Amino acid sequence: MDIQKQTNNILQQAIKRYSEENEVSVKETQLMITTYTPECKPVYKVLKNFKPIKDVGFNEILDLKIDFLGREIIATPFITNAIMRIIKENSCEYSEVNVLIYPNDENGDDLKLHLFIGNQPKKELTMNYLFGNI
């Protein structure tokens, strides 16, 4: 299974799990990738109705205590590079980059990614954009 497809499946399962955990529908649950550092290390947030409710680690998204397959080690450099590319393409600060991941259907089987610079929507992204340097 390729990294884009595997990441998409992981995100789908995480959104479904967080919707159950927060007792809301799948459509009311989102994830966000952002960063707090100039090195652009990704930070992950769970959102309910587009409002952040908690920061989570990569292993929490995976629903694992230990990632023996090293998926975070594989995915993080690609996501970091995508954040850096977004900063360059949009002439913005690292603290303004937000990638919203949300279900496009009631079951959470079709995910969409949308770039926000601050609170302003910019464009839809694809998994290929995040992992395009493979």
Mean pLDDT of the chain: 91
State the Rg of the chain over Cα: 14
The Cα–Cα gap between 123 and 102 comes to: 14
Is residue 14 over pLDDT 90?
Answer: yes
Overall pTM surpassing 0.75 (yes/no): yes
Element (H, E) at 81: helix 71-90
Domain residue limits, the chain: 3-130
Per-residue pLDDT tens digits for 58-106:
889 988 888 777 778 888 888 999 999 999 999 999 999 999 999 998 8
Confidence grade of residue 127 (pLDDT, cut at 50, 70, 90): confident
pLDDT of residue 71: 78
